[in-house]
Amino acid sequence: MSSKIMLPKPNNETCLGRLLKERRSVRSYKESSLTLQELSSLLWFTYGCVKPDCERRTSPSAGATYPFEIYVSVRNNGVEGVEPGIYHYDAERNELVEVLKGDFSRQLAKACLGQRWVLNAPVNIILVAVAERTTGYYGERGWRYIFNEAGHIGQNIYLASVEMGLGTVAVGAFNDDQVSKLLNLPEGYEPVYVFPVGRVK
């Protein structure tokens, strides 16, 4: 017979414990813009640089290959002082680089099989993998690491959202080709995950 060990009560009355207890998928958001400060913090928590030259980031990465690029779709009035559009997050320079002008939330929601939370969120964070960075090093197994890493980054978004009074939901159900076309992604860039984010209703 296998022996059992009774565990003491977890010590989860901590900062991290609170974030984990409160983490949940949120699918309805207030009609309220985010501030640029909030977006900046959210993106840093997501995949920001913690060392010069982005040698280390807020998420672990197999062989420090960092296969992800972060895109943000901002709807009309989604972020104070920011024109609606699709932006690329340049983590090293802490900049948003415009990819396309305009409110694409309707097209993005359609590509995500009509999920309303994608349409209604002030911003959608899209995790895009540049697979070659990791598969070039690890071969086919690199794909496993890419999906592992998407989970790490996604959890960053969930926990950061709780801390900031925001809500998010992981969206994996979408048409890859439609999202790629919408974002005008170069060859070899693959959308992996979409995270609508907004103020909790």
Ligand X SMILES: Cc1cc2nc3c(=O)[nH]c(=O)nc-3n(C[C@H](O)[C@H](O)[C@H](O)COP(=O)(O)O)c2cc1C
Q: Report, in Å, the least distance between residue 174 CB and ligand X.
A: 7
User: Within a 10 A sphere around the Cβ of 131, how many other Cβ atoms?
Assistant: 17
C-beta closer to ligand X: residue 27 or 57: 27
Asked whether position 172 contacts ligand X by CB under 6 A, the answer is: yes
- Total number of residues shown for the chain: 201
Asked whether position 28 contacts ligand X by CB under 6 A, the answer is: no
| Cβ–Cβ under 8 Å, residues 23 and 12 | no
Q: Which position among 19, 119, 164, 170 is part of the footprint of ligand X (CB under 6 A)?
A: 170
Asked whether position 169 contacts ligand X by CB under 6 A, the answer is: yes
C-beta closer to ligand X: residue 24 or 106: 24
Asked whether position 129 contacts ligand X by CB under 6 A, the answer is: no
Asked whether position 168 contacts ligand X by CB under 6 A, the answer is: no
Q: Which of 62, 23, 2 is closest to 170 using CA atoms?
A: 23
Q: Report, in Å, the least distance between residue 26 CB and ligand X.
A: 8
Distance CA 28, CA 137 (A): 40
Beta sheet of 85-90, edge-to-edge order: 95-101, 85-90, 68-74, 123-130, 189-199, 166-168
- Using CB under 6 A, list all residues that contact ligand X: 24-25, 27, 115, 169-173
